[in-house]
Chains A and B, each alone.
Chain A
Amino acid sequence: MIRGGPQIWAHAKFSWLSLQRSPGLWVVGFVAAMSAGSGLFWRDFSFGEAEGRFVLGFGWGLQNLLGMGLALAAAVQIWARDQEDKTLPVWRARGLSLWALATGRLLAAGLFCAIFAVGSTLVLAWAQTGKPGALAFAQLFASAGWLTLKLTLVATMTFGVTRISRNTGFVIGATTGLILLGHLRPWAGELGGVPMVISWLAPDLSSLSPAMGQQQPNLDAGVVRALAAAGYGVVFLGLATREQSNE
């Protein structure tokens, strides 16, 4: 029996194949990236500067929204396939680690999120500047990197929610609720009291919005945000290792 890193890698490859062989997810991902980058098309119309900014702002927002939906769908796809195939009892019977399983699943979902984030960011930057490949590596890293972190966190939240229920509808609904909560944290923080405490259930997703492709990242604030996100990620991953198995 392999242990540690190799077992994580084995689970990651297994989960990645599950995603890779879900053509619907890739079609939706492509359509989502193209929808976000539809500014490429609208650029050819003689809009004013303000309208142009609106279209691009709408595109960046759509990238965020559709990306979170895709991250949730990818995580549900990986988890639900294992549930449907009832593979978990067989793995556990042989002593496979649930930590390795959860981390492997997360790596696969993270790779899917990274592909969407980089692809859609490149398309959006093209729409914004009129030149394909306009982003410098550092800008691409800052923009797509933050989005990848945010989407991977959404996937981790989804895996964490599976601890509570095996019902796919519940998992989708509860994760969507956490995503909303994560975006309402700044307002909840201003309100204080109970709303603020409840909002701590979810990470501050609004602070992980991409840097719109062009802004320079604030490294000091970035480290804190990344660490906070990682902390929530570890908690949700820990919950995922207590997943309700289909025994």
Chain B
Amino acid sequence: MATAALRFDGVTKEFYAGREAGRVRALDAFSAEIGVGTIVGLLGPNGCGKSTALKCALGLLSPDHGQVRVHGLPAGSVKACHTVGYLPERGGVPSHLTAREALQWWAWVNGTDQQAVATSLEAVGLTAAADRRVASFSKGMRQRLALAQAWLPRPSILLLDEPFSGVDPRGVDRLVEMIMAEKQAGKTILLTSHLLPRVEQICDEVILVDRGRVIVAGTVATVLGGEPVRSRGLDDVFRERLEGNKS
């Protein structure tokens, strides 16, 4: 049996949220498997545990119970870290450097060929702005640069936390093209987003999460219940399932 690119096994993670709220359970026996070469959308309302799941997969957070494995390796181990690229929800690129310097520095620490910098800048359409400070970039430009930074070391898995957040429609189109190009290159991509029509467009599978638990998971067609995409979209399923989960 082929090893999954990412595997969450009964992951539970709690946080202390102050004296009144006490401990809050962000992930509750969360289990999922992400196959090699697939694009999977991790969906759910705000605060449902999507970002926590990504951070557990990156080794930035340690689960209280359960485990996350990356290509069969424990998440956060040095070998596992070298196979992943991460786009955080906000920031992630140094504002005091130019786009070119930021990628050159990142290529340096990751031991990546410096020639990949020019290629990456071109791929994300930032060649003309390469020598401008990141501080002067728009939100969309920063997102594209952060994505270029995430894939510069050529990781086999990309974890993208809200890649379309705050990006205008043209910028989203561009990001979608970039993500699809990475899929063509055989990358495994796990992304979170509230832009459901886009998720429907690019993802092979979706995992719907609420209060830290998986409510439904499967291919987009399965989750949509086999109905034509035009008459019933992921956003409809999303509302129905969440309503059902409340009752």
Contacts and interface: CB of A to CB of B under 8 A. Distances in A.
Contacts of A22: 96
A95 B109 CA distance: 11
Given A10-B108, A17-B96, A18-B96, A92 B60 contact: yes
Contact of B86 (A10, A17, A89): A89
A245 B92 CA distance: 12
A214 interface: no
B109 A10 contact: yes
B109 A7 contact: yes
A2 B109 contact: yes
A14 B109 CA distance: 11
Contacts of B60: 89, 92-93, 245, 247
Interface in A1-59: 1-2, 7, 10, 13-14, 17-18, 21-22
Interface string A66-95: 000000000000000110111101111111
Interface of A: 1-2, 7, 10, 13-14, 17-18, 21-22, 81-82, 84-87, 89-96, 245, 247
Contacts of B149: 90
User: A interface, by DSSP: helix, strand, loop or mixed?
Assistant: helix
Contacts of B63: none
B82 A1 contact: yes
B55 A85 contact: no
A96 B59 CA distance: 12
A107 B85 CA distance: 28
B91 A85 contact: yes
A72 B55 CA distance: 32
Given A90-B149, A94-B153, A247 B55 contact: yes
B217 interface: no
Contacts of A247: 55, 60-61
B81 A2 contact: no
Contact of A87 (B84, B94, B111): B94
B92 A89 contact: yes
B86 A85 contact: no
A81 B109 CA distance: 19
B180 interface: no
Interface string B182-223: 000000000000000000000000000000000000000000
A130 B61 CA distance: 60
Interface string B45-87: 0000000000100111100000000000000001001101110
Contacts of A84: 91, 95
B111 to A, nearest CB: 5
For the complex of A and B, 10 pairs with smallest distance between CB atoms: A86-B91, A95-B81, A93-B86, A93-B58, A90-B92, A21-B96, A95-B78, A10-B109, A18-B96, A85-B91
23 contacts: A2-B109, A10-B109, A14-B97, A18-B96, A22-B96, A81-B96, A82-B94, A84-B95, A86-B88, A86-B91, A87-B91, A87-B94, A89-B58, A89-B88, A89-B92, A90-B88, A92-B60, A93-B59, A93-B60, A94-B81, A94-B110, A95-B82, A247-B60
Most buried by B among A82, A84, A247: A247
B31 to A, nearest CB: 22
Interface in B75-127: 78, 81-82, 84-86, 88, 90-97, 101, 105, 108-111
Contacts of B110: 1-2, 94
Nearest to A97: B78
Contacts of B108: 2, 10
A31 to B, nearest CB: 22
Contacts of B85: 93-94
